[in-house]
């Protein structure tokens, strides 16, 4: 039997300085990835291609012309040569044991289709970094979580459905998949992570579809990476608000598609729509980190998310058709 191997992919768009740091961290791995891919999404001035050619000759460069993170992720899924594909964001830095910790999960847990890693802030020196962490950040603690096995445990001190766990066990900036089930599930939903229309949701959506298909998901805190948050508070707030709109859009997608899980999804979606209002009350008591105007904007964006997915799906199809032509 051949040993299981891991490919690492960095999806990027016109950020060569950040990309260089991410690639340096992948080349320092204790257990090196069998290959490293850079997927250059909607290439602009050629700087990413030039960087890879001059500084990283062992890294494979691939261009994906259609703009959108999940177009790039799906290109990586097709291009990768190994059983496991681990994604690292271009604004993240991997710990030296990151790849080995992710690969170990897939080697020892044959039912696992997705493994997310622990993500800590790269810095806490700016208002944006501190605000993003105060709002919850990306890290999900030091305890390993296996879904659906741990879904009967309290989440944040309260009982929660599996869908809440699926949204809470990590982010796409440190995220690995088993390629065969990932391809069988159709890859990532290209209507999500489109930028301004829906700036997120693809990681949660794929994870949820994997769970619904009977696979397991693991949050592995030993797979550590650090993420460079936005430095300005306004930019961090924009990211937080946009993420909430994308989460509700992803939930609305599955409310329409999943008849059997609809009651639970409807109840949880209702909570996500009401949650900014609850946070406004907490803010009035001085117990929420986000300013009231940001929470109001978040509330409005959550309701906008209910109808955002069909429009984003049309946009993704138009982009695919335009660039195919």
pLDDT at 296 over 90: yes
pLDDT at 82 over 90: yes
Segment 230-268, tens digit of pLDDT? 999 999 999 999 999 999 999 999 999 888 778 999 999
- Within 8 A by CB and 6+ apart from 118, the residues are 139, 140, 141, 142, 170, 174, 219, 220, 221, 222, 223, 224, 225
Domain count, the chain: 2
The tokens describing 253, both together, are 């997608």
Query: What does each C-alpha distance from 179 to 39, 97, 114, 150, 238 come to in angstroms?
Result: 16, 21, 10, 24, 33
Distance CA 29, CA 93 (A): 11
What is the pLDDT at residue 3?
86
What is the pLDDT at residue 156?
80
Identify the band that residue 2 occupies on the pLDDT scale cut at 50, 70 and 90.
Answer: low
> Is 1 among the domain residues?
no
Identify the band that residue 152 occupies on the pLDDT scale cut at 50, 70 and 90.
Answer: confident
Strand partners, 84: 6, 178
Higher pLDDT, 71 or 150: 71
What is the pLDDT at residue 178?
98
What is the pLDDT at residue 174?
97
What is the pLDDT at residue 158?
84
Q: Which residue has the tokens 């020196």?
A: 125
What is the pLDDT at residue 324?
78
Last residue of a domain, one of 231, 252, 274: 231
Closest CA to 194 of 185, 181, 182, 205: 205
Residues 193 and 260 in one domain: no
> Is 223 among the domain residues?
yes
**pTM, to two decimals:** 0.95
Distance CA 167, CA 153 (A): 15
Query: pLDDT averaged over the chain?
Result: 96
Backbone angles phi, psi at 93, to 5 degrees: -130, 130
Residues 248 and 210 in one domain: no
Closest CA to 83 of 110, 116, 56, 117: 110
Residues 10 and 120 in one domain: yes
Residue 305 CB coordination number (10 Å): 25
- Across 29-33, average pLDDT: 98
Residues 205 and 244 in one domain: no
Residue 152 CB coordination number (10 Å): 10
Closest CA to 272 of 226, 224, 204: 204
Last residue of a domain, one of 176, 200, 231: 231
Segment 299-313, tens digit of pLDDT? 999 999 999 999 999
Query: At 61, which CATH number?
Result: 3.90.550.10
Last residue of a domain, one of 208, 231, 254: 231
Backbone angles phi, psi at 188, to 5 degrees: -85, 150
Interior angle at CA 38, CA 35 and CA 41, nearest 5: 150
Distance CA 68, CA 197 (A): 11
Higher pLDDT, 172 or 154: 172
pLDDT at 203 over 70: yes
Distance CA 73, CA 128 (A): 27
Residues 199 and 114 in one domain: yes
SS (H, E, C) the chain: CCCCCEEEEEEECCCHHHHHHHHHHHHCCCCCCCEEEEEEECCCCCHHHHHHHHHCCCCEEEEECCCCHHHHHHHHHHHCCCCEEEEECCCEEECCCHHHHHHHHHHHCCCEEEEEEEEEECCCCCHHHHHHHHCCCCCCCCCCEEECHHHHCCECCECCCHHHHHHHCCCCCEEEEEHHHHHHCCCCCCCCCCCCCCCCCHHHHHHHHHHHCCCEEEEEEEEEEEECCCCCHHHHHHHHHHHHHHHHHHHHHHHHHCCCCHHHHHHHHHHHHHHHHHHHHHHHCCCCCCCHHHHHHHHHHHHHHCCHHHHHHHHHHHHHHHHHC
Residues 223 and 97 in one domain: yes
The tokens describing 245, both together, are 């709109």
> Is 221 among the domain residues?
yes
What is the pLDDT at residue 47?
96
pLDDT at 1 over 60: no
Structural domain of residue 191, as residue ranges?
Answer: 6-231
Segment 42-63, tens digit of pLDDT? 998 899 999 999 999 999 999 9
Residues 182 and 243 in one domain: no
> Is 59 among the domain residues?
yes
Q: Are 223 and 170 in contact (CB under 8 A)?
A: no
Residues 154 and 274 in one domain: no
């Amino acid at each position: 039997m051949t040993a299981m191997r891991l490919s690492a992919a960095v999806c990027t768009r016109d950020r060569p300085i950040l990309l260089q740091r991410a690639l340096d961290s992948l080349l320092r791995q204790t257990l090196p990835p069998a290959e490293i891919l850079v997927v250059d999404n909607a290439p602009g001035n050629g700087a990413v291609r030039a960087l890879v050619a001059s500084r990283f000759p062992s890294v494979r460069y691939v261009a994906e012309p259609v703009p959108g993170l999940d177009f790039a992720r799906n290109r990586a899924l097709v291009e990768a040569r190994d059983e496991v594909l681990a994604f690292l964001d271009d604004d993240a830095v991997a710990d030296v044991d990151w790849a080995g910790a992710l690969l170990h999960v897939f080697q020892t847990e044959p039912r696992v289709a997705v493994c997310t890693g622990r993500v800590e802030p790269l810095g806490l020196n700016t208002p944006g970094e501190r605000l993003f962490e105060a709002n919850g950040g990306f890290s999900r603690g030091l305890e390993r979580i296996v879904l659906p096995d741990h879904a009967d445990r309290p989440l944040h001190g309260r009982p929660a459905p599996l869908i809440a766990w699926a949204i809470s066990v990590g982010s796409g900036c440190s995220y690995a998949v088993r390629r065969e089930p990932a391809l069988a599930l159709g890859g990532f939903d290209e209507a999500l992570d489109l930028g301004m229309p829906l700036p997120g949701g693809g990681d949660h959506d794929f994870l949820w579809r994997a769970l619904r298909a009977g696979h397991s998901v693991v949050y592995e805190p030993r797979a550590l990476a650090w993420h460079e948050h936005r430095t300005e508070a306004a930019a961090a707030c924009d990211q937080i608000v946009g993420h909430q709109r994308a989460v509700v859009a992803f939930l609305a997608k599955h409310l329409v598609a999943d008849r059997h899980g609809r009651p639970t999804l409807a109840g949880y979606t209702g909570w996500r729509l009401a949650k900014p209002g609850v946070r406004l009350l907490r803010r009035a008591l001085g117990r929420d980190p986000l300013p009231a105007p940001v929470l109001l904007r978040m509330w409005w964006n959550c309701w906008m998310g209910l109808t955002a997915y069909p429009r984003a799906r049309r946009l993704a199809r138009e982009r695919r058709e335009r660039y195919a032509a």
